[in-house]
Structure 1
Amino acid sequence: MSTEPRAGRPKASSRENIAEAACELFLEQGYEQTSIVDIANRAGVSRSSFFNYFGSKSDVLWAGLDERLAGFEDGLASDDGMDAATAVRREAEAIAAGFAPDSLALGIVNAAAMGIEAEYERDAALRRARIARAAAARFTRGGADRVSAEVAGAAWGGAVLAAVEAWAHDGAGRTSLSRFLARAAEAASAVRTRPAGEVRQLRVVAGAADFDEALAFYRDVVGMPQAEAYEAEGGARVAILDAGRATLELANPAQVAFIDRVETDGDAPSDAIRVAFEVDDTASVVSRAVDGGAVLEASPRETPWRSLNARLRGPAGLQLTLFQELGDA
């Protein structure tokens, strides 16, 4: 007699066996009435083996999605120069890649029979908030104001969970989560992360006699990535650098005088147009800027509104303010 194993369905992993046993028990006797010992006994493993794969009963349902949400958070935590809206959508849609029907889909469809309706709503709210926090943080770093970032983050949290629920109820085994998540992403993407207005972009145009010096300073020393660059006949050159969020600050003469008193010792009055850059560390950027050829007009000092400001004269004749937001006292 041959001892070779017969071909057929691959043997399920211990994790899959435990999840299957748990779902069977949830359907048979209810979620609250099912203990971890019950699940371990049904799956034929020890209680400690259960905790090798799951931290709690609810993790049996959520573990697969939680792994993907960890990837979503990691992907958004690393700034790769991509537009924030594009990055959030890319990472959200990646959640669906290869996502197979699992215990969560079964639980969503059979929530009433399993007695997990209240439990599911609590756990789903935690995942929505988790997605929202990661997305809002990415939108904020991309230049969105706090309110817009929070609203957009909440939209993405709702979109992902709505897609998962629609996928489960449609029959998770018959279609892919990607289809539903793409539709949900369209709805979430419609939430603006910047104030609406006629002006789409603020761009400061500076003529630089020494183009290479100015480009090296603002791109490499100050730290603005080059977004576009063009050349034309006659040696014409232009580079467009990404400065993050753009705003236009209008100040009357009294405010200009007040700023000059706060930001300088009175010996470096404001030009008619002064360019301000928000940075993470004013002192270090000032040091690099001076080493890179800028002239220091006023050393870093804390303002009454909790920012750390310094004033310099940079290449192309631009008067610069570098400021670091210090947050609440």
Structure 2
Amino acid sequence: MSTEPRAGRPKASSRETIAEAACELFLEQGYEQTSIADISSRAGVSRSSFFNYFSSKSDVLWAGLDERLLAFEGRLGSDEEADAVAAVRAATLAISEGFAPDSLALGIVNATAMGLEAEYERDAALRRARVARSVATRFVRAGSDRVHAEVAGAAWGGAVLAAVEAWAHDGAGRTALARFLARAADAAQVVRPMRAGEVRQLRVVVEAPDFEDALRFYRDVVGMPQAEAYEAEGGARVAILDAGRATLELSNPAQVAFIDRVETDGDAPSERIRLALEVEDSTAAADRLAAGGAAVEASARETPWRSVNARLRGPADLQLTLFQELGPQ
């Protein structure tokens, strides 16, 4: 007789058996009505065996994520990288490593049926706070002031739980948590912690002789909402338009020449200062701006760095680059 084990589904561990039994009971009779004795009996283990794996009834749902949050806290606590935001992002994405669908995903999707909505909200708030506290501490250690660090920490705490919830509702067994964590991290990164003495806003100041035409174009055609507007004696007027995230790109002459070869046909060289606007669809945006009064200097084309760029001349004689990020292949 062969002694080789038969192929088939691996036997579930005691931990998995207990978690499965608990979720069955939560669905059958409700979270509040289910005792640890009930779970132990259904799983066929002793009460003491239950506590070998879980510290409480709610721990059945949260144990898998809590293990990863513990690693998240440890990673940020010992991290000394100069870029604190990059360190937080990396630690956040690492939460997904080896995180298979478990009882937490089942509990999120069936919170109403299990009668644990209030319990879930309390427990989720504790996890958000854990992430927020760890992130805020890391940002403060990097030189951020306490208020900005706490606000940014809250954003990351919300992002992690939002990603887990979206993953569960999307069908945790059919999709990867990493995808949702990456999207949530993109949103959280917008709330940047500020360091003492750090520039808080980049504003480009432009003289526009035809003020009304320029305002109409950049506000209504390009799509920069008016944030502020002021008037003064002598007909003086100013409008401040919101352009989203601001960055300053510094390029040496060789890079400018390279960009011009890639982005144009050689007949629209870059000026010393050129405005680059990120858009969702460069081709469509270029057509819209051209219809709104801009002159196309170079049609939309894909660049070696995975973007689609177009170059135009807008009102107030501003040279504009529209760019659409295509992301990794």
Pairwise TM-score range, normalised by the shorter structure = 0.5 to 0.7
Report what 1:131 is aligned to. 131
Give per-residue Cα distances to partners, 1:15-52, cap 9 Å, x unaligned.
00000000000000000110001100110100000000
Q: Which amino acid aligns with 1:170?
A: D
Give per-residue Cα distances to partners, 1:204-257, cap 9 Å, x unaligned.
xxxxxxxxxxxxxxxxxxxxxxxxxxxxxxxxxxxxxxxxxxxxxxxxxxxxxx
Q: Which amino acid aligns with 1:197?
A: R
Measured in 1, the distance between the counterparts of 2:16 and 2:102 equals 9
Report what 1:156 is aligned to. 156
Report what 1:45 is aligned to. 45
Residues 110-189 of structure 1: pairs in structure 2 closer than 5 A: 110-189=110-189
Report what 1:19 is aligned to. 19
Residues 1-329 of structure 1: pairs in structure 2 closer than 5 A: 4-194=4-194, 196-197=199-200
Bigger mean CA offset, 78-87 vs 175-184: 78-87
Report what 1:309 is aligned to. none
Q: TM-score, normalised by structure 1?
A: 0.59
Measured in 2, the distance between the counterparts of 1:155 and 1:70 equals 19
Measured in 1, the distance between the counterparts of 2:52 and 2:187 equals 38
SS of the counterpart of 2:16?
Answer: helix
Q: In 2 relative to 1, CA 11–147 (structure 1 residues): closer, same or farther, beyond 3 Å? A: same
Report what 2:320 is aligned to. none
Shift of 1:198: 5.3
CA-atom RMSD, angstroms?
1.6
Measured in 2, the distance between the counterparts of 1:30 and 1:97 equals 31
Measured in 2, the distance between the counterparts of 1:157 and 1:198 equals 25
Measured in 2, the distance between the counterparts of 1:154 and 1:197 equals 20
Shift of 1:192: 1.6
Give per-residue Cα distances to partners, 1:52-90, cap 9 Å, x unaligned.
000000000000000000000000101333311111111
Note the residue ranges of structure 1 that are not aligned, 5 or more in a row. 200-329
Measured in 1, the distance between the counterparts of 2:85 and 2:62 equals 26
Q: Which amino acid aligns with 1:13?
A: S
Q: In 2 relative to 1, CA 28–192 (structure 1 residues): closer, same or farther, beyond 3 Å? A: same
Note the residue ranges of structure 2 that are not aligned, 5 or more in a row. 203-329
Shift of 1:197: 2.9
Measured in 1, the distance between the counterparts of 2:115 and 2:67 equals 25
Contact 2:81 2:87 in 1 (8 A): no
Give per-residue Cα distances to partners, 1:299-323, cap 9 Å, x unaligned.
xxxxxxxxxxxxxxxxxxxxxxxxx
Measured in 2, the distance between the counterparts of 1:198 and 1:41 equals 61
Measured in 2, the distance between the counterparts of 1:89 and 1:8 equals 39
Give per-residue Cα distances to partners, 1:268-287, cap 9 Å, x unaligned.
xxxxxxxxxxxxxxxxxxxx
Report what 2:221 is aligned to. none
SS of the counterpart of 1:57?
Answer: coil
Measured in 1, the distance between the counterparts of 2:155 and 2:201 equals 24
Shift of 1:5: 3.7
Shift of 1:191: 0.4
Q: Which amino acid aligns with 2:179?
A: R
Q: In 2 relative to 1, CA 19–86 (structure 1 residues): closer, same or farther, beyond 3 Å? A: same
Q: Which amino acid aligns with 2:200?
A: G
Measured in 2, the distance between the counterparts of 1:183 and 1:198 equals 24
Give per-residue Cα distances to partners, 1:153-211, cap 9 Å, x unaligned.
00000000000000000000000000000000000001021165358xxxxxxxxxxxx
Shift of 1:2: 5.3
Shift of 1:4: 4.6
Measured in 1, the distance between the counterparts of 2:112 and 2:40 equals 23
Report what 2:267 is aligned to. none
